[in-house]
Amino acid sequence: MSFITRGFSGRRRERDPRLPPGQTLVGDWPVLSAGPTPRIADDGWEFAIGTENGVHRWSRTELEALGVEDITVDIHCVTHWTKLDMAWRGVSLDRLFAGIETSHRFAMVHSFGGYTTNVALDDLLGGKSWIAFEADGAPLTPEHGGPARLLVPHLYFWKSAKWVQGLITMPADKPGFWEQNGYHLHGDPWREERYG
Ligand SMILES: Nc1nc2c(c(=O)[nH]1)N[C@H]1C(S)=C(S)[C@@H](COP(=O)(O)O)O[C@H]1N2
Ligand SMILES: [Mo]
């Protein structure tokens, strides 16, 4: 008797283990910007880190001289899309912080246009974040944050500030733009830290 025939309707397609809870795969790369896209000349761009001990600045050339890395990571937007296996090129925040002394544990990231987002230094350092100039083999388009954006792939993508300009370290955590508007202070997609 085979009335207990299993598998006739097919096994449910297995969920990709790289997909955090509540996320859906996309093949394209959606654009999500809170305001207009700023146009920034490549040669006018520089990056700054401010701490209680002073300000450090790098031109694009100086930054790339610290060491450019190619990394392949998945990105997860709080609006439920995930894009797997994106190839990025950028400079690790570890390289920028190598010469910096601070007692601060947090940072506010600032972008051209006024966008801000808070990130703990523990989430920026240790091979976890980059200043990225290229994605999938091409320079970042203005819509996706070109000439440079922060890339913090282990947190929801709103932490990956487009048109990034610099960061200022802080002794205590403080909400940035979306965090003031209800998003979680930390934003770990694996724990579904969507809203605060
Ligand atoms: N400067 C700036 N950075 C930003 C945003 C923004 O509005 N302004 N949006 C954030 C959000 S909510 C997401 S999901 C991603 C979207 O990046 P993308 O448009 O390249 O997909 O950028 C993040 N970084
Ligand atoms: Mo987002």
CATH number of the structural domain spanning residue 182: 3.90.420.10
Within a domain: 138: yes
CA dihedral of residues 91, 130, 178, 102 (deg, nearest 10): -80
Beta-strand relationship, 116-120 and 54-59: unpaired
From residue 68, give the alpha-carbon distance in Å to each of 47, 60, 89.
15, 11, 7
Nearby residues for ligand 2 (ion, Cβ within 5 Å):
32, 77-78, 158
Within a domain: 38: no
Residue 2 tokens, joined: 């085979």
Q: What is the total count of domains within the chain? A: 1
State the pTM of this model. 0.94
Average the pLDDT over each of 15-19, 41-45, 50-54, 125-129 and give the range with the smallest value.
Answer: 41-45
Within a domain: 5: no
Within a domain: 112: yes
The domain of 148 spans 20-27+43-191
Contact 169, 107 (CB under 8 A): yes
Within a domain: 78: yes
> How many angstroms does the Cα of residue 14 sit away from the middle of ligand 1?
30
Please give the pLDDT value at position 42. Answer: 83
Within a domain: 35: no
Residues 6+ away with beta carbon under 8 Å from 10: none
Mean pLDDT calculated for residue range 109-114: 98
pLDDT in tens, 119-143: 999 999 999 999 999 999 999 999 9
> How many angstroms does the Cα of residue 49 sit away from the middle of ligand 2?
24
The DSSP code sequence of 50-64 is EETTEEEEEEHHHHH
Q: Is 117 helix (H, G, I), strand (E, B) or coil?
A: strand
Question: pLDDT at residue 10 above 80?
Answer: no
Look at the chain and count its residues.
196
Contact 87, 140 (CB under 8 A): no
Within a domain: 160: yes
Within a domain: 145: yes
From residue 29, give the alpha-carbon distance in Å to each of 50, 125, 154.
32, 26, 17
> How many angstroms does the Cα of residue 187 sit away from the middle of ligand 2?
11
pLDDT in tens, 58-79: 999 999 999 999 999 999 999 9
Q: Is 157 helix (H, G, I), strand (E, B) or coil?
A: helix
Closest C-alpha among 145, 165, 152 to residue 119: 152
